[in-house]
């Protein structure tokens, strides 16, 4: 099956839209194929502000119909407690809010940006999507992440080379309570490193310390700015640690 086939069969469809590479390309492809599509962006403490701004920009550039939802994801059962399968409860809460809104709007099929490169093993988040009958056309059509990036570049989408970004809750160790304060602190730390020009990194919480994972190619520049970074991040963390196993290794 091709995306053309998928959108020929699904002429009216809702999209769980994050502003990332995959869902952005899906929105573009759906519009290109003439489908009636509405993008639903869930704005919560789990997503940094730049993701919201990217989603708005992409929807505006495509002239797409985008609706913003604001459910209290932290209040959903099984989320704040942060068990090992927390992603299952997050997905149930987020996609449940989208499904409810979409059905009220007259959209009875929901798709997401899972692609053929994503591990389909019994991951908690994937299990939740299966239970809610969410369609994943990129995966169903065999499109890998690399192919989605190539097609996005051909379509002149600014998201084509955007680094993958997991939600802020993934920075907090499983079993440790997720609070809005921890999410805000994480977002501020990552915003600061973004402002210095670093990309594709993570600032993880570790016993009230910031444990920074950064790609090998940026390590030298990071160490050159070490004093400034430590001084800034220690305003919010007890200590600043650098993971010497470079991110991506």
Q: What is the mean pLDDT of residues 186-209?
A: 95
Q: Please compute the mean of the pLDDT values over residues 84-105 and round it to a whole number.
A: 96
Q: In this model, does residue 248 exceed pLDDT 90?
A: no
Yes or no: say if 1 and 135 are a contact pair by the CB < 8 Å rule: no
Spell out the residues 6+ positions from residue 39 whose beta carbon is closer than 8 angstroms to its own. Answer: 14, 15, 17, 23, 27, 55, 59, 64, 65, 66, 67
Q: Name every residue whose Cβ is closer than 8 Å to that of residue 93 and which is 6 or more positions away in sequence.
A: 71, 73, 76, 79
Residues 6+ apart with CB under 8 A from 65: 37, 38, 39, 59
- What percentage of residues in the chain have a pLDDT greater than 70? 98
Q: Residue 49 pLDDT more than 60?
A: yes
State the sign of the Cα–Cα–Cα–Cα dihedral 127, 125, 244, 149.
positive
- Determine the Cα angle at 45 with ends 130 and 178, to 5°: 80
pLDDT tier, 7 (very low <50, low <70, confident <90, very high otherwise) = very high
Q: What is the pLDDT of residues 126-151, one digit of tens each?
A: 899 999 999 999 999 999 999 999 99
Structure-model confidence comparison of residues 61 and 119, the more confident one: 61
Instruction: Determine the pLDDT at residue 225.
Output: 96
Residue ranges of domains in the chain? 3-161, 179-242
Residue found under tokens 């709007």: 105
pLDDT of the residue at 120: 65
Distance CA 193, CA 201 (A): 9
Q: What H or E segment, with its residue span, contains residue 16?
A: strand 12-16
Q: What is the rounded end-to-end Cα distance, in angstroms, of the chain?
A: 34
Q: Where residue 122 falls among pLDDT bands split at 50, 70, 90?
A: low
List pLDDT tens digits, range 214-243.
999 999 999 999 999 999 999 999 999 999
CATH of domain 179-242: 3.30.70
Give pLDDT tens digits for 152-193.
999 999 999 998 888 999 999 999 999 999 999 999 999 999
Residue 121 pLDDT more than 70? Answer: no
Identify which of 193, 178, 189 has the alpha carbon closest to the alpha carbon of residue 80.
178
- Across the strands, what pairs with 67? 40
Place of tokens 């403490």: 45
Q: What's the whole-model pTM score?
A: 0.91
Which residues, at least 6 apart from 71, have a Cβ–Cβ distance to it below 8 Å? 42, 44, 93, 94, 97
Q: Higher model confidence: residue 120 or residue 136?
A: 136
Residues sharing a CB contact under 8 Å with residue 203, sequence separation 6 or more, in sequence order:
171, 186, 189, 190, 193, 210, 211, 212, 233
Selecting from 3.10.20.30, 3.40.50.150, 3.40.50.620, 3.90.380.10, what CATH number does the domain 3-161 have? 3.40.50.620
Instruction: Tell me the pLDDT of the chain averaged across its residues.
Output: 94
């Amino acid at each position: 099956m091709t995306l053309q086939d998928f959108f020929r069969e699904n002429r009216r469809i809702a999209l769980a839209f994050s502003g990332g590479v995959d869902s952005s390309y899906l929105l573009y492809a759906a519009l290109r194929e003439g489908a009636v599509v509405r993008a639903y962006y869930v704005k919560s403490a789990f997503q940094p502000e730049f993701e919201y701004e990217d989603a708005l920009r992409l929807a505006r550039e495509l002239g797409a119909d985008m609706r913003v939802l604001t459910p209290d994801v932290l209040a959903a059962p099984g989320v704040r407690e942060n068990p090992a399968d927390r992603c299952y409860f997050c997905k149930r809460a987020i996609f449940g809010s989208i499904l409810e809104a979409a059905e009220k709007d007259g959209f009875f099929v929901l798709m997401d940006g899972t692609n053929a490169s994503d591990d389909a093993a019994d991951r908690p988040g994937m299990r939740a999507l299966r239970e809610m009958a969410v369609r994943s056309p990129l995966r169903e059509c065999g499109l890998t992440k690399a192919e989605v990036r190539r097609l996005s570049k051909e379509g002149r989408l600014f998201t084509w080379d955007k680094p993958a970004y997991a939600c802020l809750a993934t920075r907090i160790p499983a079993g440790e309570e997720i609070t809005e304060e921890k999410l805000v602190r994480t977002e501020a730390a990552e915003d600061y490193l973004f402002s210095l020009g670093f990309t594709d990194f993570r600032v993880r919480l570790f016993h009230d310390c910031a444990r920074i994972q950064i790609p090998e190619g940026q390590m030298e520049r990071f160490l050159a700015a070490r004093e400034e970074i430590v001084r800034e991040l220690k305003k919010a963390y007890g200590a600043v640690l650098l993971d010497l196993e470079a991110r991506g290794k």
